[in-house]
Copies of this chain bind each other. A is one copy, B any other.
Amino acid sequence: MEDDDLANVLRALGHPVRLHILRILGRQRSDCCCTDVTQCLPLAQSTVSQHLKVLLDAGVIERHPRGTRNCYTVRRERLENLGIAFGGLMAGLEAAPQEKSTEPV
């Protein structure tokens, strides 16, 4: 995972509403559309749609057109990759072999 990509995902997750949306989507395993999410939040439908777009563009969620509505689901494997990338960042910080490090694997 590139640094830019990692930063993108982190920034997408860096908003309380979007974290909340993620949890809502994760809780309901199937068939969660924009209005469903909106009813759980004190925000306008357009605002929720924009937040969904941010998460979508970051690759954190998926869209599944289902009849007249769009159902959103969490892309867990993508979040796992994020966890891995984050772990790699942490490992780099832990190692701290000044400059002459003989390098990672």
What is the interface of chain A, defined by CB distance below 8 A to chain B? 3-4, 6-16, 18-20, 22-23, 25-30, 74, 76, 79-80, 83, 86-87, 89-90, 92-96, 98-101, 103
Contact = CB atoms under 8 A, between A and B. Distances in A.
B27 A99 contact: yes
Question: So how many copies of this chain end up in the complex?
Answer: 2
Given A7-B13, A29-B96, A90 B80 contact: yes
25 contacts: A3-B20, A6-B19, A7-B13, A7-B15, A10-B11, A10-B14, A11-B14, A12-B14, A19-B89, A23-B89, A23-B92, A23-B93, A25-B93, A26-B94, A26-B96, A27-B96, A27-B98, A28-B99, A29-B103, A76-B90, A76-B93, A79-B93, A83-B83, A83-B86, A86-B86
B93 A29 contact: no
Contacts of A93: 22-23, 25-26, 74, 76, 79
